[in-house]
Amino acid sequence: MLRKSGILGYPLGHSISPYFQNAAFEFLGIKASYKAWSTEPKDLSGKVNALRGTSFMGANVTIPFKETVIELLDEMDDWAKKVGSVNTIVNDSGTLVGYNTDTVGFIQAISEYGNYDPSGEAVLLIGAGGAARAAAHALVGNKVGSLVIANRTYHRAERLASEFPAKDKVSPVLLNGPGFLKAVDSASLIVNSTSIGMKHTSVENCNPLEGLSVKAGVLVNDMVYNPLKTPMLIHAAEAGAKILTGLPMLVLQGAASFNLWTGRDAPVDVMFLAAQEALAD
């Protein structure tokens, strides 16, 4: 029997996950498929419920469902519960279990591909959605010195920041407000966790750092991976900043999901190559 998996999100025109997940299945000789399941919000419940079928291994979850999908699941991994965001669903004999592999993908990406250790450092995180939740918990878990969460809707940034005790030094600011400008100036790492700059969206030509000066030597990471060089990363590179694309986090979180579905070690090098080829097409 061909086992099925895929990614739930809306829109999904930007997604290259099927390319590298299918390459991994093929490389290991696993009879499975991975597809992009573009799902409007009204259809999410039915799509998730269908994952209980015996042919389904599970699914990845992306924008805008990483938080809303939680109420549709039967169980949650302890870490996913703490983060409050799910990007991986595993079908365990009809029981749907939620996991978060974004955190490990994010930390591994900034450390191994960005040569960055957040311990004791000042970090600016743009966004307050599911991906931001993963990044915030990963950073605090790795002893970040201070974390500023910036969002265009202030109360969402405030809600996320309030989940951390005062000792963790996590604070909310309004995107493009005075606190945001100060955070841009003082951060050694700036991360965009929103869809700003993403291909096939209404904000693909936008840059959350538009008009702002980025210091040379700062690491700027965009979780958006399509295009590989987003307007924000181009802007940062021109200012002399170090840049990290969204590709390492994408592949590494996907590899962790693959491990959960199959019980096999994901062929990460094969997945990276397939992802790079997909973006080059």
> Which tokens belong to 130?
């599911």
Q: Mean pLDDT throughout 119-140?
A: 97
- Residues marked active site are found at 66
Contacts 24+ apart (CB under 8 A), 197-205: 197/222, 197/224, 197/227, 197/230, 197/231, 197/232, 198/14, 198/224, 198/226, 198/230, 199/13, 199/14, 199/226, 199/227, 200/11, 200/13, 200/14, 200/226, 201/11, 201/14, 205/231
Say how far apart CA 190 and CA 161 lie, in whole Å: 17
Q: Are residues 112 and 130 in the same domain?
A: yes
Q: Are residues 211 and 134 in the same domain?
A: yes
Q: Quick: pLDDT tens for 252-272.
A: 999 999 999 999 999 999 999
Q: Are residues 18 and 92 in the same domain?
A: yes
Please tell me the predicted confidence (pLDDT) of residue 281: 79
Structural domains of the chain, count = 2
- Domain with residue 51: its CATH number is 3.40.50.10860
At which residue do the structure tokens 């979780």 appear? Answer: 223
Say how far apart CA 15 and CA 81 lie, in whole Å: 26
Q: Are residues 131 and 243 in the same domain?
A: yes
Please tell me the predicted confidence (pLDDT) of residue 155: 97
Say how far apart CA 266 and CA 2 lie, in whole Å: 19
Q: Are residues 138 and 155 in the same domain?
A: yes
Q: Are residues 119 and 212 in the same domain?
A: yes
Please tell me the predicted confidence (pLDDT) of residue 200: 85
170's enclosing H/E stretch is: strand 170-174
Q: Quick: pLDDT tens for 239-253.
A: 999 999 999 999 999
Q: Are residues 25 and 85 in the same domain?
A: yes
Q: What is the DSSP letter of 211?
A: T
pLDDT band of residue 13 (cuts 50, 70, 90) is confident
Q: Are residues 28 and 111 in the same domain?
A: no
Say how far apart CA 271 and CA 27 lie, in whole Å: 10
Please tell me the predicted confidence (pLDDT) of residue 169: 97
pLDDT band of residue 99 (cuts 50, 70, 90) is very high
Q: Quick: pLDDT tens for 144-202.
A: 999 999 999 999 999 999 999 999 999 999 999 999 999 999 999 999 999 999 998 89
Say how far apart CA 88 and CA 9 lie, in whole Å: 12
For the entire predicted model, the pTM comes to 0.95
Q: Which of 268, 200, 272, 275 is nearest to 230 (CA)?
A: 200
Please tell me the predicted confidence (pLDDT) of residue 45: 98
Domain boundaries, position 200: 103-247
Please tell me the predicted confidence (pLDDT) of residue 278: 95
Q: With the C-alpha atoms ordered 274, 104, 261, 100, is the resulting torsion angle positive or negative?
A: negative
pLDDT band of residue 14 (cuts 50, 70, 90) is confident
- Domain with residue 217: its CATH number is 3.40.50.720
Please tell me the predicted confidence (pLDDT) of residue 232: 98
